[in-house]
Chain A
Amino acid sequence: MKLLFHFGRYFLMIQKTFKKFTKWTMLKELIFREIDDLIIRSIGIISFLSFFVGGVVAIQTAINIDNPLLPSYLIGFTTRQSIILEFAPTFISVIMAGKVGSFITSSIGTMKVTEQIDALKVMGVNTYNYLIFPKIIALTLFPFLITIAMFLGIFGGYVACVSGGFSSHADFVEGLQLDFIPFHVTYAFIKSFIFALILATVPSYHGYFMEGGALGVGKASTTSFIWTSVSIIIANSLITNILLT
């Protein structure tokens, strides 16, 4: 029953987000600020993680291919498939649920605790549109981060593989090109776009409807991370079933 209540309130929040728009000149500023906070400031951590996780995926694949009958180009093939299909869109989204999600929940939650949201309401601002809409727009650029993660993940795998002597440059590149299905990239981008909507709205919901003081903000951030991750994993399963089977 409680879950149903939260679902209802969440969808009402989204509906209100697209009503009574904030003045464009103000909205434009807010969108650019959110792009900076949510996208630009995430490039560093995503690049770092993607490069090294890509390397680890390649090394683990190489170590597990101990059968001499299995060609070494499989390392490149497996790295590409793992990174494009799962690591870049899903794993990065779960990491972003921690980084960006907590930021969104705590910033909106703090605004609520310090009555800044009430101040906006008294002025007649649609707080849902003012606070949540710019985040949704900013996170539509999330697939751009996923592109970086894909590229650096595969590059990290290549560096680890070639420099570690697990495979030659030619074999790795052959593996990368083997049985390449362009729809897999489309599938990854569709996934990451839907995850971006989850990343923008679920943490906003937890921040907006948090209760209590400073402790409440901390609790809301934790709950937000859990529910954002759960939503991403459930959405991942549904999208994979719909698009790949």
Chain B
Amino acid sequence: MIKIDGLKKMFNNSIVLNDIDTAFEKGKTNLIIGQSGSGKTVLLKCILGLFEIEKGKIIFDNKILASMSSIERSKLRQDMGMVFQGSALFDSMNVIENVMFPMKMFTDKSNDEINERANIAINRVNLVNSNSKFPSELSGGMKKRVAIARAIVMNPKYLFCDEPNSGLDPKTSILIDNLINEITKEFNITTVINSHDMNSVMEIGEKIIFLEDGIKKWEGTNKDIFNTENESVTKFVYSSELFKKVRKVYLKK
């Protein structure tokens, strides 16, 4: 479980995140939603420890991030998996090398064991016959799959995804969403996804927090989002005519 308590983040004297309180639960797919520039990515990078925070606490399973020693932080990082918006695969390595990288770096397992584990992760994301391909030879969806495989190869406790659907077609987006959701359940991971994709919100958002101008305006589940009267949320989620109609039909039912 990840708990956030009164988090405040500033850049050059301007407040980017203010007084964020929330908790991301284990075994659930937690979503951070909001408009571009609302502070989603900054929040994710604060949780990851890539940005220092001005105020508040980030607590990983009862351990405060800021109070951790460098050894504890290193250990925590090995329990984290991250899928970046652009996949962030290493250009100089092929698929299997990318997936093997965290294990080669942080474990003393033999090459055969590492190779076997990497292949399990690659098979889990349904990527076949691509082990020797380089990132430049992969499609957007395939890159995302490799990034997910790399993120789960060390059996992480926490999985973070920054807009995993960006640049993907609707069908592939749903496949990636379902894959992340399945992995969350299968490995009992605390998954935090940054998204502004409404399909993801409706499909896999077991816990959703809505950010606006760096402030948490709403928190709930994908079921609650249909019934909410919060103006900021409804304006954002039901901005398209299609979703307005979907909501009407849902509420009638």
Contacts and interface: CB of A to CB of B under 8 A. Distances in A.
Interface string B102-140: 101110000000000000000000000000000000000
A23 B74 CA distance: 14
Interface in A106-127: 110-111, 114-116, 118-119, 121-125
B74 A118 contact: no
A121 B50 contact: yes
B73 interface: yes
A237 interface: no
B68 to A, nearest CB: 12
B77 interface: yes
A222 interface: no
Nearest to A130: B105
Given A22-B105, A23-B105, A26-B104, A122 B85 contact: no
Contacts of A118: 45, 50, 82, 84, 88
A119 B77 contact: no
A25 B89 CA distance: 21
B84 A123 contact: no
B91 interface: yes
Given A22-B105, A25-B104, A26-B104, A122 B77 contact: yes
Contacts of A114: 86, 88, 91
A119 B106 contact: no
Contacts of B90: 116, 119
B88 A116 contact: yes
B105 A26 contact: yes
Contacts of B74: 124
Contacts of B104: 23, 25-26
Contact of B84 (A33, A119, A124): A119
A110 B135 CA distance: 14
Interface string B52-92: 00000000000000000000011001101010111011111
Interface string A137-149: 0000000000000
Nearest to A30: B92
Contacts of B23: none
A115 B105 CA distance: 19
Contacts of B89: 116
Contacts of A25: 104
Contact of A125 (B84, B85, B91, B105): B105
Nearest to A118: B50
A6 B91 CA distance: 29
Contacts of A119: 82, 84, 88, 90
B91 A123 contact: no
A15 B104 CA distance: 25
Q: Which A-B residue pairs are the 10 nearest by beta carbons? A: A124-B77, A119-B88, A115-B88, A122-B82, A115-B84, A124-B74, A116-B88, A123-B102, A122-B48, A114-B86
Given A122-B82, A123-B106, A124-B106, 5 more contacts: A119-B84, A121-B50, A123-B105, A124-B73, A125-B105
